[in-house]
Amino acid sequence: MNPTATLVPAAPRDVGMHPALPVQLDSIVEAAIADSAASGIALAVGRYGRLVHLMGYGRTDWPQSAAPVDERTIWDLASLTKVVATTTAAMILEEQGRLNLDQPVASYLAALSDSAKAGITVGMLLTHRGGLEAFAPLFRQFRGREQYLEQINLRPLKAPPGTRTEYSDWDLILLQLVIERITGQPLDQFVQESVFRPLGMQDTGYNPDPTLLRRIAATERDTTRGGLIHGSVHDPNAYAIGGVAGHAGLFSTLHDLSVFAQMLLNGGEYNGVRVLKPATIARWTAPQGPGSSRALGWDTPAGKSSAGRFFGPRSFGHTGYTGTSLWVDPERGVFVVLLTNRVNPTSANQKHIPLRRSVADAVQAAITDAPLIDWEARR
C-alpha cells in the first residue's frame, strides 16, 4: 500500500498485530466508561498506514438522550492544540525561513518589552524553558490577545530564561502571537489554510458552529459560565482570549486526528499532500536536552508516561487537560489517539490517567513482528 494514501481499515494480523487487540481495547474502554472515567471515549490505532481500530464508546454527555460517540464526534482537544495547531504552524514557518528558533521573542513582539524577558527565544517557548510561570487566572480580569500579552509582559519570571523547564501555557500563547505577527493572519486561519484543509480535516477548527452541538462532547460544569460547557472551549484563558489560542481551543474528531497522526508517520505527507519535511519532523520530535522530556512543542515518554511502558525513545506525543492524548512511535510505525471528556462533570476526575497507560500498553504488547521492550524500566 502507498503510505501516503488515505487510511483504510485493516485486520490486526495484516499489520503484524495480535488479532485479539480490538476485543481487548473494547474491554479496557468499556470498563473505563462503566467506572465513570468519562461519558464518552473515542479510540484510534493505526499501523503501517492502516487503521486497526477506529471506535467510539459511550455518549457525548451522561444522559441517555445524548448522542452516541463515533469517529465523527467533535472533542475539545485542550493542550493537544499546542502540537496539532501551534507547533505545526511554527514548523511550517521555520521550513519557509520565516521563523528563527534562536531569535528573541521580543524581536517579533515589541510589546514584550520587559528587560528580564529579552533573552527568551522562540526555541525556549517550544521547550518550555522561557522562565514563565505555569499558569495564572488572567481570565478573571482580562480579555483578548493584547491584554494577555500585556499581562504576560508585566508578570515576573519564575526563573531566568533557559535555566529550567516549566510547562507553561504562556509559552504557546506567545508563540501564537509570533505566528500571527509573521503571517498577518489569525492562527486559526493560517492552520486551516496550511494544514487542516489540505489534509481533508474537515471537522477540525476553533469555535465550532452551534449547529454542530449534538456532535460535540460536553465538558465541565462551570457556574461562572452558566453551567455545562458544551460547544465552547473549556480552558478559561483560551475562552477569555476569544476561543483561538496557542495553548488550547482546537476542536477535532478521531477521524481527523488519525489523518494528522498518519501524516507525521509518513514523514509529513498524506494522500499526496505534503505539509512538512521528514527531517523537520525528526528534529522537532526529538528531546532537546538533558533533564527534560520536552521536544520542540512535542513531548516524549519519561517516567510513568501517559504513553505507558513500551513506547520507545523516538516516540513523541502530547496530552490535553480534557482527557485527550496522541502518541506516535515512528520506529514501530504505530499511533494511538485517545479522546475523552473526563472533565464532565468535574475536572477532579482522574480516571483517564490509568486508562491512557492501559490502552498504550495493550497496543504495543499486541505487536507481533517486533520485540517488546519495557522502556519505562530503562528510563
Q: What is the DSSP string of 82-137?
A: IIIIIIHHHHHHHHTT---TTSBGGGT-TT---GGGTT-BHHHHHTT-S---S---
Decide yes or no: CATH 1.20.58 for domain 87-183: yes
What CATH number was assigned to the domain covering residues 8-84+187-378? 3.40.710.10
Q: pLDDT class for 1, splitting at 50, 70, 90?
A: very low
Q: How many C-beta neighbours within 10 Å does residue 162 have?
A: 16
With a pLDDT cut of 70, the percent of the chain lying above it is: 99
Identity at 266, one-letter amino acid code? N
Pairing mode of beta strands 50-58, 8-9: parallel
Q: pLDDT class for 263, splitting at 50, 70, 90?
A: very high
> What's the whole-number mean pLDDT along residues 116-122?
98
208, 226, 229, 345 from 213: Cα distances, Å: 8, 16, 11, 17
What DSSP designation does 344 have? S
Helix (H) or strand (E) holding 45: strand 40-47
With a pLDDT cut of 90, the percent of the chain lying above it is: 97
> What's the whole-number mean pLDDT along residues 164-172?
97
Per-residue confidence (pLDDT) for residue 5, from 0 to 100 = 57
Contact 72, 255 (CB under 8 A): yes
pTM of the predicted model, to two decimals?
0.97
Per-residue confidence (pLDDT) for residue 245, from 0 to 100 = 98
Q: b/e map of 322-357 (b: 16 or more CB within 10 Å)?
A: bbbbbbbbbebbbbbbbbbbbbbbebebeebeebbb
What does the block give as the cell for 327? 502518541
Q: pLDDT class for 46, splitting at 50, 70, 90?
A: very high
Per-residue confidence (pLDDT) for residue 289, from 0 to 100 = 84
Contact 276, 147 (CB under 8 A): no
Helix (H) or strand (E) holding 356: helix 352-365
> What's the whole-number mean pLDDT along residues 318-337?
98
Contact 271, 256 (CB under 8 A): no
> What's the whole-number mean pLDDT along residues 188-204?
98
Q: Exposed, middle or buried, 282 (CB in 10 Å: 0-12/13-18/19+)?
A: middle
Domain ranges of the chain: 8-84+187-378, 87-183
Per-residue confidence (pLDDT) for residue 220, from 0 to 100 = 98
Per-residue confidence (pLDDT) for residue 291, from 0 to 100 = 81
Q: Is 120 left (phi over 0), alpha (psi -120 to 50) or beta?
A: beta
Cell 502507498 belongs to which residue? 2
Q: How many C-beta neighbours within 10 Å does residue 113 have?
A: 12
CA distance 341 to 77: 9
Cell 454542530 belongs to which residue? 212
Q: pLDDT class for 352, splitting at 50, 70, 90?
A: very high
Q: pLDDT class for 290, splitting at 50, 70, 90?
A: confident
DSSP 165-222: ----HHHHHHHHHHHHHHHSS-HHHHHIIIIIHHHT-TT-EES--GGGGGGBPP--EE
Q: Which of 5-19, 102-116, 165-179, 237-251 has the lowest mean pLDDT?
A: 5-19
8-84+187-378 and 87-183 share one CATH topology?
Answer: no
Q: How many C-beta neighbours within 10 Å does residue 262 have?
A: 28
Q: pLDDT class for 72, splitting at 50, 70, 90?
A: very high
> What's the whole-number mean pLDDT along residues 65-92?
98
Identity at 170, one-letter amino acid code? W
Residue 4 has pLDDT above 70, yes or no: no
- 18, 117, 9, 120: which is closest to 55 by C-alpha? 9
Q: pLDDT class for 3, splitting at 50, 70, 90?
A: very low
